[in-house]
Amino acid sequence: MSLLISLPESMGPRALCSALLDLEPEMKIVTGHENVQNPDEVEFAVVWNHPEGLLLNYPNLKAISSYGHGADGLLADSKLPEGIPLVRLTNETMAEWMSEYLLAVVLLQRRQLLQHAENPNFIEWGIAARHPGNQLSILGLGYLGKAAAKVFLKNGFEVAGWSRTPKQVEGVSSFSGNDGLTEMLKSTDYLVNLLPLTTETTDLLNTETLSKLKRGAYLINVGRGQTLVEEDLIPLLDDGQLSGACLDVFRTEPLAEEHPFRKHKKILITPHNSSSTPADSVAPQILENYKRAVSGRQLLNQVDLTHGY
Ligand code: GLV
């Protein structure tokens, strides 16, 4: 019986294989679905951007793991085997990297360092350039959102969070529902999107919602590209409603070379790398879920199909 790793080269399938073998040298692992010789043997699959319908090939599959925090890539496959549980990863290192990225972007913006890089004379010599706003609001108070909230609280920000259901997070003002969103946005200086992609979060950030932000607020999207209505962003930036945006995720990735976001001075683009999946760090969780799946035990981080994450 075996574990299948089906990941794009860029995600390091062999690094995951060796991290798992370091933990369990006897384990049978197939790296690359094209290398599966006996589909009956595959009991657990770790996938990212897998071909649609691939997972129907393994009649003895017990569980499928996303090789990331999000499960939307898995759920986008309309030909998933029925009744097979899906899991995703939560990991401290992934959360640390995400929080570090967010803090770096917010501080760059707060001290206007990119403007200095572009034009060292943009402000008078000796005058501190510092955005006065201090409220950072996080859409999505799950594992990553909570970790980021802690980091911003430690750095002196006022932190608010919005989630599907109200959450109790120490030091964080918690909001939920449509009215809660409006309430939170109106005092927000920095808005961070960490929401999973679901039918409810698709297109949530649009002209109407982003116009509710404090004028001159800054947007950071590290959740999913589909949450932002892309064509609404540039007019909001040009009119000054938003002072800038940092985008790590896009509706279509990689972002097309000719996409207007690439040329806009107020948009900072990164290539979906605000965080990453570190093989050594996630291998124990994958191994644990593999063991639980083959012995029919409750899995860690199982995807709730009703809510889509
Ligand atoms: C990355 O986008 C992830 O879901 O881990």
CA distances from 240 to 37, 142, 217 (A): 58, 31, 9
Atom of ligand 1 nearest to the CA of 249: 2
Are residues 45 and 81 in contact, defined by beta-carbon separation less than 8 angstroms?
no
Annotated catalytic residue within 50, 88, 224, 292: 224
Continuous H helices in the chain: 13-23, 72-75, 92-110, 113-118, 143-154, 177-185, 207-210, 230-238, 279-294
Q: Is the minimum distance from the CB of 145 to ligand 1 under 6 angstroms?
A: no
The answer to whether 215 is a known catalytic residue is no
The yes-or-no answer on residue 14 being catalytic is no
At residue 132, the pLDDT reads 87
Structural domains present in the chain: 2-91+277-295 (3.40.50.720), 94-269 (3.40.50.720)
Spatial CB neighbours of 146, under 8 Å, sequence gap ≥ 6: 167, 169
Average pLDDT over the chain reads 97
Report CA(90)–ligand 1 centroid distance (Å): 10
- Torsion angle of C-alpha atoms 169, 283, 251, 185, degrees rounded to 10: 10
Average pLDDT over residues 194-223: 98
Q: Is 140 in the pocket of ligand 1 (CB under 6 A)?
A: no
List helix spans (H) across 5-112.
Answer: 13-23, 72-75, 92-110
DSSP state of 89: -
pLDDT value of residue 146: 98
| Pairwise pLDDT comparison (131 vs 41), residue with the higher score | 41
Q: Which long-range contacts (CB under 8 A, 24 or more apart) does 90-94 make?
A: 90/143, 90/285, 90/301, 91/277, 91/278, 91/281, 91/282, 91/285, 92/147, 92/281, 93/278, 93/281, 94/69, 94/144, 94/275, 94/276, 94/277, 94/278, 94/281, 94/282
pLDDT tens readout for residues 99-118: 999 999 999 999 999 999 99
Exactly one of 50, 272, 292, 307 is catalytic; which is it? 272
CA distance 150 to 207: 29
Closest ligand 1 atom to Cα of 70: 4
Radius of gyration for the chain, computed over Cα atoms and rounded to the nearest angstrom: 21
Nearest atom in ligand 1 to the alpha carbon of residue 224 is 2
Residue 116 Cα to ligand 1 midpoint, Å, equals 32
Residue 36 has pLDDT above 90, yes or no: yes
In ligand 1, the atom with minimum distance to the C-alpha of 94 is 5
Centre of ligand 1 from the C-alpha of residue 68, in Å? 4
User: Please, which pLDDT band fits residue 209 given cuts at 50, 70 and 90?
Assistant: very high
Q: How confident is the model at residue 11 (pLDDT cuts 50, 70, 90)?
A: very high
For ligand 1, mutation pick of 16, 47, 69 (most atoms within 8 Å of CB): 69
Residues 174-191, mean pLDDT to the nearest whole number: 98
How far is Cα 253 from Cα 212, in angstroms, rounded to an integer? 28
pLDDT in tens, 132-168: 899 999 999 999 999 999 999 999 999 999 999 999 9
Region 42-61: mean pLDDT is 98
